[in-house]
Amino acid sequence: ILNVEQSPQSLHVQEGDSTNFTCSFPSSNFYALHWYRWETAKSPEALFVMTLNGDEKKKGRISATLNTKEGYSYLYIKGSQPEDSATYLCASGGSTLGRLYFGRGTQLTVWP
Amino acid sequence: ETGVTQTPRHLVMGMTNKKSLKCEQHLGHNAMYWYKQSAKKPLELMFVYNFKEQTENNSVPSRFSPECPNSSHLFLHLHTLQPEDSALYLCASSQDIRSTEAFFGQGTRLTVV
């Protein structure tokens, strides 16, 4: 079992604020790190898949970094908007094919 | 729309009932998964199918019985469930089990009374 931790558990920010949250995972047997965005009553939506140490990925105002040696990833949102309100999940794929270990998620609320 | 459809979206069943959850994917994927999310817990993998063959059962009780008749369809048959089995059940698919990029359905919210 891989222990994937996310912090904070929840976050409330004002529209326009930039924010970031953390995902930590065991660095041994690392395979891939995934970030998902999950809006209420919808499917989790894949944001990024990251595999290489030092990887940085960007999609619009959202970006993510990866440090496989120390076992953490950061997700950044620049200029948060109310539509960014969702739960952000990270998952680490271990050495067992097909298995993703998820964190509990960070619930982000952006107030107008 | 992720290309993965689950039915029903909501289900209430008694402990003596038998019901089934259905998942269908239109992505041409060969691997399908059942996940469970209980309140305040992480998503937990239940079963993995690759090319219709079950490759993983994560110590799931036998009252949950999966079926994968073809690569596009996945079922979860439920019988004699307990109230603690109430949870959100999510289906996902990926190209195959070597591809960890999974596409999820919207889930079935199950309540066992």
How far CA B52 is from CA of A61, A72, B23, in Å, comes to 39, 35, 13
Per-residue model confidence as pLDDT tens digits over A66-108: 999 999 999 999 999 999 999 999 999 755 666 788 999 999 9
Closest CA of chain A from B74, distance in Å: 16
Token pair in block for residue B10: 């909501």
Residues A80 and A65: their CA atoms lie apart, in Å, by: 18
The partner residue sitting opposite A46, judged by closest CB among B40, B56, B101, is: B101
pLDDT in the model for residue B39: 87
Question: What DSSP assignment string belongs to B38-105?
Answer: -TTS--EEEEEEETTEEEEE-S--TTEEEEEEETTEEEEEEES--GGG-EEEEEEEESSTT----EE-
pLDDT in the model for residue A96: 60
The answer for residues whose C-beta is within 8 angstroms of residue B59's C-beta and 6 or more apart is: none
pLDDT in the model for residue B34: 96
Instruction: Output the CA torsion sign for A98, A101, A107, A110.
Output: negative
- In terms of pLDDT, which residue wins out, A60 or A28? A60
pLDDT in the model for residue B80: 94
pLDDT in the model for residue A1: 66
Question: CA of B36: which chain A residue's CA is closest?
Answer: A102
Query: CB contact, 8 Å: A94 with chain B?
Result: no
Per-residue model confidence as pLDDT tens digits over B40-51: 889 999 999 999
pLDDT in the model for residue A30: 83
Contact A104 B31 (CB under 8 A): no
pLDDT in the model for residue A31: 84
Query: CB contact, 8 Å: B43 with chain A?
Result: yes
Chain A residue numbers touching B106 (CB-CB < 8 A): 41-43
Contact B102 A93 (CB under 8 A): no
Query: CB contact, 8 Å: B32 with chain A?
Result: no
Backbone φ/ψ region at B75: left (φ over 0), alpha (ψ -120 to 50), beta: beta
Instruction: Compute φ and ψ for B24, nearest 5 degrees.
Output: -135, 135
Residues B62 and B3: their CA atoms lie apart, in Å, by: 29
Per-residue model confidence as pLDDT tens digits over A21-55: 999 998 887 888 999 999 988 999 999 999 999 99
Low-confidence spans in chain B with pLDDT less than 50: none
Residues A44 and A61: their CA atoms lie apart, in Å, by: 19
